[in-house]
Amino acid sequence: MLLELSNDESRVLKDAVDSSLHTLLEEISQASQGEFREALRQRYDRLAALQHRLEPIVESEQFYA
């Protein structure tokens, strides 16, 4: 799947992912052991991978903007 984003859209997406990661860390720390905590951890891992992929794109756009 290919998703084309403008510079502004990619920055907004990265900001949303960053915010979600912060929130998920708080939720994970407060969740009791079990399936819910594991589901949160899996979601965190997927979002962290997405954040890692977005960083060079957003940084290069800011450099040339």
The tens digit of pLDDT for each residue in 30-49 reads 999 899 999 999 999 999 99
Asked if 10 and 64 touch (Cβ cutoff 8 Å), the reply is no
Torsion of CA 47, 53, 54, 57, to 10 degrees: 180
Cβ pair 18, 52 in contact under 8 A: no
How many CA atoms does the CB half-sphere of 64 hold within 13 Å? 6
Specify the pTM: 0.80
Is residue 22 over pLDDT 60? Answer: yes
**Residue 50 CB contacts under 8 Å (≥ 6 apart), including other chains:** 17
